Amino acid sequence: MIYRKKTYKIKPEKLETFNGFFHEYLLPNQLKNGSRLIGRWVNENQDEITAIWQYESYEAYKKIEEKVRQDPMNEKAQKRRKEIGDLYLESKQDFLTETGEYRVPKHIVTAFAYITNEKGETLLVKTFWRDDTYELPGGQVEEGEPLDVAVAREVKEETGIEVKIEGVTGVYSNLSSRLVTVGFIGKAVGGKVCTSSETKEVIFIKLNEENIGDYFTREHFKVRTVDAMNCRKAIPYESYKKNPYQLVTRTE
């Protein structure tokens, strides 16, 4: 692994503007093309911002940066920069390598849901940073959050739809980014379809194996959706506490 340290000198009064630009344009473009953000910090005087990114290798970094430059979002970012003027006074970049393993290995856990309504239509979203494909709604599980609660929350936040989770359809491990993703199946029980700060489109459509290619352009999204579509009996899911054992949720 290598790490890229990017440091910006800014005027303190530009902090909010810079953060807004980062979260709306820079971060989504980097993430969608394969970068991993380790963290981002501002100093006490609020005149210096540091971000650290992780890559498999320097060659991987160069490939990702080329995709970032070619991405339509980069053009939007440059246009926005011209509108808001200078964001920072100066910047510098360093590449770092680890001198040892000092942290407990961990994975990022995400969850998605295959949700259908009373018409048998499937709930799909298209996000701003993956606008080349539709996908099932979902997102990252917060620390200490039960998986079923997390996926229901993410679906509601992204689509406006309230859901009842019925079970697990599959578990997927992304070895490129240390992601473990759990798929759920459920029913729409309330709410109203609407977009969010993350989603540019939210739809219910009749989905089947014949037309799935019209909506999904990324193979891993297609695979997990077909798995859920063909799921006849969901895998049991349980969340609990121990010492003593206390059941919190179980679906099967």
Q: Is residue 95 a contact partner of residue 58, using CB atoms and an 8 Å limit? A: yes
HEC per residue, 64-122:
HHHHHHHCHHHHHHHHHHHHHCCCCCEEEEEEECCCCCCCCCCCEEEEEEEEECCCCCE
102: in domain: no
* Interval 85-137: pLDDT, tens: 889 999 999 999 989 877 766 788 999 999 999 999 999 999 988 888 999 99
In the chain, where does DSSP find H-type helix?
15-21, 27-32, 58-70, 72-84, 147-159, 219-229
Domain boundary among 50, 72, 97: 97
Residue 104's pLDDT is 65
Could you give the number of structural domains in the chain?
Answer: 2
Q: Are residues 151 and 216 in the same domain?
A: yes
What range does the domain containing 241 cover? 108-251
Q: Are residues 55 and 153 in the same domain?
A: no
* Interval 40-80: pLDDT, tens: 999 999 999 999 999 989 999 999 999 999 998 899 999 99
Residue carrying structure tokens 């259908």: 116
Q: Are residues 204 and 241 in the same domain?
A: yes
Q: What share of the chain is helix, strand, coil (3-state, %, to 5)?
A: 30, 40, 35
103: in domain: no
229: in domain: yes
- Distance between alpha carbon 110 and the CA centroid of its chain, in Å? 8
Q: Are residues 78 and 186 in the same domain?
A: no
Q: What is the dihedral of CA 234, 143, 140, 245, to 10 degrees?
A: 0
Kindly tell me the burial class for residue 187, based on how many C-beta atoms sit within 10 Å of its own C-beta (0-12, 13-18, 19 or more).
middle
Residue 105's pLDDT is 65
pTM: 0.64
Q: Are residues 92 and 205 in the same domain?
A: no
Q: Are residues 58 and 120 in the same domain?
A: no
160: in domain: yes
Q: Which residues pair with 204 in a beta bridge?
A: 123
- Distance between alpha carbon 219 and the CA centroid of its chain, in Å? 16
Domain boundary among 53, 73, 97: 97
CATH number of 59's domain: 3.30.70.100
